[in-house]
Amino acid sequence: MTENAWTRWPSKEALGRAGTTRPRRLLAWAVRALVIALLLWGAYNQRHVGVWTGTAALAGVVAAGFLAWAFFRTTYQHRLIPSLLLLATLMGIAVAAEATGFTALALVLWCGCGITALERLPLAAATPVTSAGLAAYSAFNNDVWLTTAASVAGMALAGYVLRLDAEARGNAQRLLDQERAARAAEAESAALAERARIAREIHDVLAHSLSAQLVHLEAARLLIERGADRERILERVVAARGMARDGLAETRQALSALRGELTPLEDFLGELVSGAEGAEVTVTGEPRPLPAEASQAVRRVAQEALTNVRKHAQGAKVDLRLDYSDHQVTLNVRDSGGRPGDLTSSGGGYGLLGMRERAELLGGSLDAGPDEEGFAVTLKVPV
Last residue of a domain, one of 98, 120, 142: 142
- Please give the model's pTM, rounded to 2 decimal places: 0.46
Residue 127, C-beta contacts closer than 8 angstroms, at least 6 positions apart: 118
The reply to whether 24 falls in a domain is yes
Answer yes or no: is pLDDT of 349 > 50.
no
CA 362/CA 243 separation, integer angstroms:
29
Last residue of a domain, one of 142, 161, 180: 142
Contact 165, 11 (CB under 8 A): no
Q: How many domains does the chain have?
A: 2
Last residue of a domain, one of 115, 142, 169: 142
Residue 210, C-beta contacts closer than 8 angstroms, at least 6 positions apart: 247
**pLDDT tens figures, 28-37:** 667 767 766 6
CATH of the domain at 333: 3.30.565.10
The burial class, CB within 10 Å (0-12 / 13-18 / 19+), for 80 is middle
Residue 343: pLDDT band (50, 70, 90) is: very low
Amino acid 262 reads L
The reply to whether 196 falls in a domain is no
Angle at 340 between CA 334 and CA 345, to 5 degrees: 110
The reply to whether 75 falls in a domain is yes
The reply to whether 22 falls in a domain is yes
Answer yes or no: is pLDDT of 201 > 60.
yes
Answer yes or no: is pLDDT of 2 > 70.
no
Residue 60 or residue 179, greater confidence: 179
Residue 85: pLDDT band (50, 70, 90) is: very high
* Average of per-residue pLDDT across 184-191: 78
DSSP string covering 326-373:
SSEEEEEEEE---B--TTGGG--S-HHHHHHHHHHHTT-EEEEEE-SS
The reply to whether 214 falls in a domain is no
Contact 337, 313 (CB under 8 A): yes
CA 106/CA 113 separation, integer angstroms:
11
The reply to whether 205 falls in a domain is no
Amino acid 223 reads L
CA 162/CA 150 separation, integer angstroms:
18
The reply to whether 238 falls in a domain is no
Strand pairing category for 328-335 and 375-382: antiparallel
Contact 96, 66 (CB under 8 A): no
- Residue 321, classed as helix, strand or coil, is strand
Amino acid 49 reads V
375-382 sheet: strands from edge to edge: 279-284, 318-324, 328-335, 375-382, 365-370
> For residue 341, what are the domain limits?
264-383
CA 300/CA 376 separation, integer angstroms:
16
Q: Which range has the top average pLDDT, 59-63, 366-370, 378-382?
A: 378-382
**pLDDT for the residue 18:** 66
**pLDDT for the residue 331:** 92
The reply to whether 26 falls in a domain is yes
